[in-house]
Amino acid sequence: MKQSIVNEKSKHFAIRVVRLYQYLTEMTPRKEYVLSRQMLRSGTSIGANVKEALRGQSVADFTAKMSIALKEASETEYWLELLGETGYLDERLSVSMLDDCREVIRMLMSIVKSTNKL
pLDDT the model gives residue 3: 64
Written as one string, the DSSP assignment of 87-114 is TSS-HHHHHHHHHHHHHHHHHHHHHHHH
CA atoms of 16 and 13, how far apart (whole Å): 5
The pTM (predicted TM-score) of the whole model is 0.94
List the chain residues with pLDDT less than 50. Answer: none
Class of domain 2-116: mainly alpha
pLDDT of 24-54, one tens digit each? 999 988 899 999 999 999 999 999 999 999 9
In the chain, alpha helices (H):
2-22, 34-54, 59-85, 91-116
- CA 82 to chain CA centroid, Å, is 15
The pLDDT, as a whole number, for residue 117 is: 80
- By C-alpha distance, which of 41, 40, 33, 12 is closest to 88? 33
Closest CA to 45 of 22, 17, 84: 17
pLDDT of residue 116: 87
